[in-house]
Amino acid sequence: MRRQAPEFRRPARRRLPGWMWSLLGISFVVGVVLFFFQHRQDQHAAPVQEKGLTNEEVMHISLNLTQELLSSSSFARQLAVQMTLAKAYVVIAKEHNNLQFAWELSSQIKNCQWLLKQL
pLDDT digits (tens, 9 = 90+) for 96-109: 998 999 999 999 99
**What pTM did the predictor assign?**
0.40
What tens digit of pLDDT does each residue of 13-28 get? 777 788 888 888 898 8
**pLDDT score at 36:** 82
* Residue 103 resides in a domain: yes
Task: In whole angstroms, give the CA distance from residue 110 to residue 61.
Answer: 27
Contacts of 78 (CB under 8 A, 6+ apart): none
Q: Is 3 inside a domain boundary?
A: no
Residue 87 belongs to domain spanning? 63-119
Instruction: With respect to residue 102, please indicate whether it lies within any of the assigned structural domains.
Output: yes
Average pLDDT over residues 63-88: 76
Domains contained in the chain, number: 1
